[in-house]
Chains A and B, each alone.
Chain A
Amino acid sequence: QKEVEQNSGPLSVPEGAIASLNCTYSDRGSQSFFWYRQYSGKSPELIMSIYSNGDKEDGRFTAQLNKASQYVSLLIRDSQPSDSATYLCAVTNQAGTALIFGKGTTLSVSS
């Protein structure tokens, strides 16, 4: 069973700070990587996708991918209390047909 590992947290940051969330994966053949945000009691929603090595920026969010190290990260700049949620890292299998989720990292942003 291929795995996706995340630190469960909680990760606590003050408002306005940068939050850094990390993820490692075991399937070296994985090609697609996603970050989902899940508020308590709600379903996951896609916030970022990344497919090639390097950085991808979207507003306050930056995803970083290093396939050689099998490592994905998500940076949230200018963190807001509304960013408080669980962030799920998800990785496709080598065939690209199934999405495997990590356990998620809980982020708490204090005002």
Chain B
Amino acid sequence: EAGVAQSPRYKIIEKRQSVAFWCNPISGHATLYWYQQILGQGPKLLIQFQNNGVVDDSQLPKDRFSAERLKGVDSTLKIQPAKLEDSAVYLCASSWARGQNSPLHFGNGTRLTVT
């Protein structure tokens, strides 16, 4: 079974620039998550999709972050404009369903550095 694919692995941008991350979940997984992990902290949920619908984006800074999941498969997360505090690893995860008994599978993440 292929894992969760993310790209790029690394990205360095200047503040106020824009950036986009891509995620391809495990085939058949209906639920997709974007997490932000700042160095020394645990992952923080930004947004959760069930198929192509958003089910939780309560912690997404909507003034600068946006995400979409077209056709219920791939997803993109965009930051525009970036701030220094956005420097973090952005982790995409998927699970076959919502709910407590469906474990998350993480991708390798995208490490973003904002200078």
Contact residues of A with B, CB < 8 Å?
Answer: 4, 6, 8, 31-32, 34, 42-46, 49, 51, 88, 90, 92, 96-104
CB neighbours of A101 from chain B (8 A): 35, 42-44
Residues 7-46 of B contacting A (Cβ, < 8 Å): 33, 35, 40-45
Range class of the B interface residue count = 20 to 34
Q: Which residues of A are found within 8 Å of B100, using beta-carbon distances?
A: 31-32, 51, 92, 96
Q: Which 3 A-B pairs have the closest CB atoms?
A: A101-B42, A32-B100, A43-B106
Determine if A46 and B43 form an interchain contact, defined as CB atoms under 8 angstroms apart.
Answer: no
Q: How far is the CA of A8 from the CA of B41 in the complex (A)?
A: 9
Number of A-B contacts (CB under 8 A): 52
Mark B residues whose CB is within 8 Å of A: 33, 35, 40-45, 48, 55-56, 91, 98-101, 103-109
Chain A positions within 8 Å of B91 at CB level: 43-44
Output the least CB separation between A4 and chain B (Å).
7
- From A90, A92, A98, A103, residue with most partner B Cβ within 10 Å: A98
- Contact (Cβ within 8 A) A97 B48: yes
Cross-chain pairs A/B with CB under 8 angstroms, 23 sampled: A32-B100, A34-B103, A42-B108, A43-B107, A43-B109, A44-B43, A44-B91, A46-B104, A51-B100, A51-B101, A88-B42, A88-B43, A96-B100, A97-B55, A97-B99, A98-B45, A98-B48, A99-B45, A101-B35, A101-B42, A101-B43, A102-B42, A103-B41
